[in-house]
C-alpha cells in the first residue's frame, strides 16, 4: 500500500491519528476526492478487486469506483495508518422486493474497544463514521441524516428521505428508510470476490442497467444517473439533462474529476 500516494489522492498531507477524529477526517477526505462510479461496467471491462488493480485505477489513474473497489482501498489505507479494521457485507434495501443479496461492503473499525462503521463507498449522500450502537445517529449541515437500529440479530442503517433514492436529505415528513442491513460476521476475501462478481455481472440489476456517478461536495452532493445531472448545494437542488457526448465528457471532468477519452464517452453515450 503506497500510503503517501493515497493520501495525496484524497488531499491529506499526512496520515491522521488512529482515533475517531482521524477516522472521520480520512473518510470525508476520501469521499470528497474519489467519485463513486460504475462506468467500467457499461464500458464492458468488468470490475476487478485485485488490490493492485484497484490502486492503479482509483489512485494512479484518478478514476472512481463502486463499493467493492472504494472500501477495499479505504480498508488498506486505514490499516496502513494504524487503524484496526476489517470488511463487512451488507444487504441494500433500496427499492428491494424481498430479501436482497449481499451486494455492498464497508468497514468495521475498532478504536479503544469501541466499534465504528466506516463507509467510503456507498453511492449516496454522506454518512460519517458512526459508533456501532443502537440509536446512533448523524446529521449533516446539508440535512443528510442517518441512524443505526438494532434489528433481528443484526443492524440496519437507515436514512432520512425518499424511499426510492440514495439521497439521505431529510424531508418534511422525516420518514426513515432502510438503507442497508448487516451483521458483524467475519468476511473473507473469497466472500468479497463472490459478492463483487454477482453485483457487477448479474443481468437486470442496478449496476448493469444504469450509468451512475456521484461525489460528495463540501456543501452537498452531485449525482449523474444515466442522462440526468443533479446538484444539491447549500440547500438548493438543480437538475438538468445531459445534452450530448461532449456535454457528458465536460461534466465528468469538471464536476467529478473524471478524465475519460472521447471514445469512451462516445461508447457510454450510445449505451
* DSSP per-residue codes, 208-253: HH--EEEEEETTEEEEEETTEEEEEETTEEEEEE--SHHHHHHHHH
Q: Closest Cα to residue 129, out of 118, 120, 115?
A: 118
Cell of 173: 415528513
Cell of 88: 463487512
d(CA 251, CA 271): 17
Q: 68: exposed, middle or buried (C-beta count within 10 Å: 0-12, 13-18, 19+)? A: buried
d(CA 45, CA 57): 12
Q: Would you name the residues annotated as active-site residues? A: 67, 104, 119
CB neighbour list of residue 78: distance below 8 Å, 6 or more residues apart = 23, 26, 85, 107, 109, 118
Residue 214, Ramachandran bin (φ over 0: left; ψ between -120 and 50: alpha; else beta): beta
CB 249 within 8 A of CB 260: yes
Residue with cell 477519452: 261
Amino acid at each position: 500500500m503506497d500510503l503517501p500516494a493515497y493520501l495525496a489522492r484524497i488531499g491529506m498531507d499526512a496520515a491522521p491519528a488512529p482515533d475517531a477524529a482521524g477516522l472521520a477526517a480520512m473518510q470525508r477526505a476520501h469521499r470528497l476526492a474519489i467519485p463513486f462510479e460504475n462506468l467500467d461496467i457499461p464500458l464492458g471491462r468488468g470490475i476487478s478487486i485485485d488490490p493492485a488493480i484497484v490502486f492503479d485505477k482509483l489512485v494512479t489513474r484518478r478514476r472512481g469506483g463502486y463499493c467493492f473497489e472504494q472500501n477495499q482501498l479505504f480498508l488498506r489505507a486505514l490499516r496502513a495508518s494504524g487503524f484496526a479494521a476489517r470488511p463487512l457485507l451488507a444487504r441494500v434495501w433500496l427499492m428491494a422486493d424481498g430479501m436482497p443479496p449481499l451486494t455492498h461492503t464497508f468497514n468495521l473499525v475498532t478504536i479503544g474497544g469501541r466499534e465504528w462503521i466506516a463507509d467510503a463507498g456507498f453511492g449516496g449522500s454522506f454518512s460519517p463514521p458512526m459508533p456501532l450502537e443502537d440509536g446512533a445517529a448523524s446529521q449533516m449541515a446539508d440535512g443528510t441524516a442517518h441512524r443505526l437500529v438494532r434489528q433481528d440479530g443484526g443492524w440496519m442503517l437507515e436514512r432520512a428521505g425518499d424511499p426510492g433514492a440514495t439521497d439521505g436529505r431529510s424531508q418534511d415528513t422525516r420518514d426513515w428508510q432502510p438503507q442497508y442491513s448487516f451483521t458483524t460476521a467475519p468476511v473473507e476475501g473469497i466472500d468479497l470476490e463472490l459478492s463483487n462478481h454477482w453485483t457487477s455481472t448479474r443481468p437486470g440489476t442496478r449496476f448493469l442497467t444504469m450509468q451512475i456517478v456521484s461525489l460528495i461536495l463540501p456543501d452537498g452532493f452531485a449525482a449523474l444517473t444515466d442522462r440526468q445531472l443533479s446538484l444539491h448545494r447549500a440547500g438548493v437542488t438543480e437538475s438538468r439533462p445531459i445534452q450530448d457526448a461532449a456535454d457528458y465528457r465536460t461534466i465528468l471532468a469538471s464536476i467529478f474529476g473524471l478524465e475519460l477519452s472521447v471514445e469512451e464517452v462516445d461508447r457510454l453515450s450510445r449505451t
